[in-house]
Amino acid sequence: MKDLVGIKELSKDKIKLILDTASSFKDVLKRDIKKVPALRGKTVVNLFFEPSTRTKTSFELAEKRLSMDVLNFSVPTSSVVKGESLFDTIKTIEAYGVDFIVIRHSSSGAPHFIARNVDASVINAGDGINEHPTQALLDAFSILERKGSLKGLNIAIVGDILHSRVAKSNIYLLSKFGANIRLIGPPTLVPEMTDYHIDVFYEMDEGLKDADVIMMLRIQMERQGKGFFPSTLEYFKNWGLDMRRLKLAKKDAIVMHPGPMNRGIEISSDVADSEQSIILEQVTNGLAVRMAVMYLLKKESENA
């Protein structure tokens, strides 16, 4: 495996290997000295064409924990604003001899295009409304830590599924491991996915009954057209997660969110900060998972 551009094409065995390796790296992160020399001498460039706090910070810290040389590409101060094409930009960066390219782009398929045109390993940090593979991996890792298995769990994914690359990567991953997936949201924001065994609920209360995991999604204002739902007030009233609704799920249900959260729109503050919320654990686990992905890509490229 040279690249990680999506979950859809990743086998169960590869996913298990990544999650097992992440578990080892999480132990490293608990030490006083949290840095390992695993990728010393390697160079990575972070190409973020869209704003990001958690993912960009998580990748950069993971890269530094692995002792890599890190380059951060700033779009507003680059030749992209002068009209340089994506192809020319990546070929220029490749000429510096980078080993990894981490890319987030608003266009679905941009990481796949780059992976076909460079020798460096490419990692998809989110492409348009297509996929966000490392988020799905860290979500699976976080669920496994709490529940021990994915098989048979009732996992409710709630909100703007239509525009969510996080939801799509999670659906691909959870389907491979036998989870019972429920999609909950307004009819305008829940697309048909007939290739997967999924239950769809337009009523939040009905969809949350006996859920083991509630995965809330951010309403992506920047990708919204007009008419998906009447107002944010109306949205929270119908599909927001508050304490009353949380009690409809199993008593030991966990609450997840990929961030950034819109408190009071998709989730209430008392739920986000409750003991059932593992949102900050997801952030911590993302570091270990991204270390594992880069470590394994390097290992496999050396064995190829």
Give all domains of the chain, ordered by start, each with its CATH number.
Answer: 10-130+282-295 (3.40.50.1370), 131-277 (3.40.50.1370)
What is the pLDDT confidence band of residue 222, given thresholds at 50, 70 and 90? Answer: low
Residue 276 assigned to a binding site: no
Geometric angle at alpha carbon 29, from 23 and 255, rounded to 5°: 65
CA distance 286 to 268: 23
* C-alpha 244 chain-centroid distance: 28
CA distance 208 to 217: 14
Alpha helices in the chain, H assignment, sequence order: 12-28, 54-65, 86-94, 110-117, 133-147, 165-176, 204-208, 232-239, 243-246, 269-272, 279-303
Q: Does position 226 have pLDDT exceeding 90, yes or no?
A: no
pTM attached to this predicted model: 0.95
Q: Does position 264 have pLDDT exceeding 60, yes or no?
A: yes
**What residues are paired with 215 via a beta bridge?**
157, 256
Residue 135 assigned to a binding site: yes
* 8 Å CB contact between 172 and 7: yes
Put the strands of the sheet holding 69-74 in their side by side order: 69-74, 43-48, 100-105, 121-127
Residue 260 assigned to a binding site: yes
Residue 54 assigned to a binding site: yes
Mean pLDDT score, 105-134: 96
For 158, residues 6+ apart whose C-beta sits below 8 A from its C-beta are 183, 184, 185, 204, 207, 214, 215, 216, 217, 239, 241, 266
For the annotated catalytic residues, the residue numbers are 54-55, 82, 104, 132
* 8 Å CB contact between 43 and 97: yes
Residue 282 assigned to a binding site: no
**Any idea which residue has 């008392």 for tokens?**
270
Mean pLDDT score, 266-288: 97
Q: Does position 304 have pLDDT exceeding 80, yes or no?
A: no
* 8 Å CB contact between 104 and 49: yes
What is the pLDDT confidence band of residue 130, given thresholds at 50, 70 and 90? Answer: very high
Q: Does position 167 have pLDDT exceeding 90, yes or no?
A: yes
Residue 82 assigned to a binding site: yes
The pLDDT value recorded for residue 4 is: 98
The pLDDT value recorded for residue 301 is: 82
Residue 104 assigned to a binding site: yes
